Structure 1
């Protein structure tokens, strides 16, 4: 049984006329007749019976038709929904981004996107997380596009740099380092650190910077995003 046979069966059930059904399906009458014979053989029962010069559904044909119509309608709805989903003018986008982009960058990006008339029928869902979890959701196809904080070589993904930000050191106002306009990272040795956790895309960068000046940070707390850190 295949999808084409079901469409043929539905049309023949509608017209109850082999020649008319074949014309509307743009196939030959023998092809239609052969297809229905094969379908009946597979189902193990007659779906049609002669009615003078025409044909009509048997009670088994009526029974089967209800299932065929529901199945084909569901497939047509699915096809329509899928075409809308992948349409450049409508559909839904699952966007993932790191926590630090939530307060400003992501809302601004969405606002600018929606200023284009062709984008008015496109909706969004937002997912926030750290870089490792975001990349995981992207590879699992739970997200369509993601904005993270580092490029991780991966054959399954394409990375494109879109922005640069400075990495800065922040301290309390009464901290000994707060009295300097600038410092060398060596001067941070011996002080406790609040750092991003290891799932953060920026954590490897910070570890590498400190390793370059032979500083092994004493991390007393790990967080996921910079507002909590501050």
Structure 2
């Protein structure tokens, strides 16, 4: 079976329509349908079922799709390995990272590395912590930038920075004029949090427990800047990383939510780099890992501390 036919199958299995897939492959829809039918004949089972105008995987098709993903990923990794042996400086680095790191940490790390190795390409993905762990375990990312040690024996994690978390309150909140606050003072407030599965959600709930209460959740979101906007709109309070004014300017009609220093609990989160413990990384990814471990401390700012200099943090 042609690998390109398997790529077509994977595209449709991931949710693309036959029309979209055929157009991207520069082929006709009937030709694509014949290719999918050929796969089903070779598999000896119906892999798709039609739901309206879309094709959806059958239970058998779902099992087959998992093996197709493995075959194609192994093949692509093989191509990468050969290409990097021929020209180590022209490799590809599959990197996944937290959404919040894309505004300040990731860009200078990438540009600094490409200053030295301009032919290196990056495949970038953004997730919450659970998605980042999956990227590593599935082999779709060589490295991930995340918060906190994933706690998985198969993954090695190295702390890079300690990032402070501040209590964001609405601009007209009773505490908006303060600069410092005890977290226990907002025990009765409504909190705006990320959905379960995000590390910042777990960190917030843990810090609230340390302060003696369980937060009342009024709203849940999937991005920190969305939470900041909800706080600014007066919908609750939230423990958040310091804002990046380049990505969250004031609208001119509503000032940015004040961010108060928390004094009764250690309100911060660890940021680090993770990779599979037993995997030898390709040269480009191994080089980028060393670059990150060396450069991250030099990129700290806005109260962020290099891992080795964070007062009160474990080594």
Band the TM-score falls in, shorter-chain normalisation: 0.5 to 0.7
Could you list the per-position Cα deviations for residues 112-131 of structure 1 after superposition, in whole angstroms to 9, with x for gaps in the alignment? Answer: 11111xx2221011100101
| Distance (Å, rounded) in 1 between the aligned partners of 2:219 and 2:79 | 51
Question: 1:145 maps to which residue?
Answer: 143
The equivalent residue for 2:180 is 182
| 1:79–1:162 CA distance, 2 compared to 1 (3 A) | closer
| Deviation for aligned residue 1:81 | 5.3
Q: In the alignment, which residue of structure 2 is the partner of 1:111?
A: 111
CA shift, 1:179, in A, is 2.2
Alignment partner, residue 217 of structure 1: 215
Q: Normalising by structure 1, what TM-score?
A: 0.61
Give me the CA root mean square deviation. Answer: 1.8
Over alpha carbons, which structure has the higher Rg? 1
**Cα drift, residue 216 of structure 1:** 1.3
Q: Could you give the per-residue CA deviations for residues 177-202 of structure 1, whole angstroms, max 9, x where no partner exists?
A: 21222111111111111012221112
| Partner in structure 2 of residue 94 of structure 1 | 94
- Tell me the CA shift for residue 80 of structure 1: 6.5
Higher RCO (CA 8 Å, separation ≥ 6 residues): 2
Q: Secondary structure at the match of 1:166?
A: strand
Task: State the 1:104 CA deviation.
Answer: 2.1
- After TM superposition, the runs of 4+ consecutive aligned structure 1 residues lying more than 4 A away are 78-81
Q: What is the CA-CA distance between 1:225 and the residue it aligns to? A: 2.1
2:149–2:157 contact (8 Å) kept in structure 1: yes
Q: Among residues 161, 169, 178, which one is paired with 2:159 in the alignment?
A: 161
The DSSP-based 3-state class of the residue aligned with 1:143 is coil
Structure 2, unpaired ranges of 5+ = 1-76, 229-315
Distance of aligned partners of 1:108 and 1:213 in 2 relative to their CA distance in 1, 3 Å threshold: same
| Aligned match of 2:50 | none
Aligned to 1:206: 204
The equivalences for 1:20-39 within 5 A come to: none
The structure where helix makes up a greater share of residues is 1
Whole-angstrom CA distance in 2 between matches of 1:220 and 1:194: 6
Between Structure 1 and Structure 2, the one with more strand by share is 2
Aligned residues: 151
Q: Which runs of 5+ in 1 are unaligned?
A: 1-77
Counterpart CA distance in 2 for 1:199 and 1:146 is: 16
Q: Residues of 2 paired with 1:214 and 1:79: CA distance?
A: 53
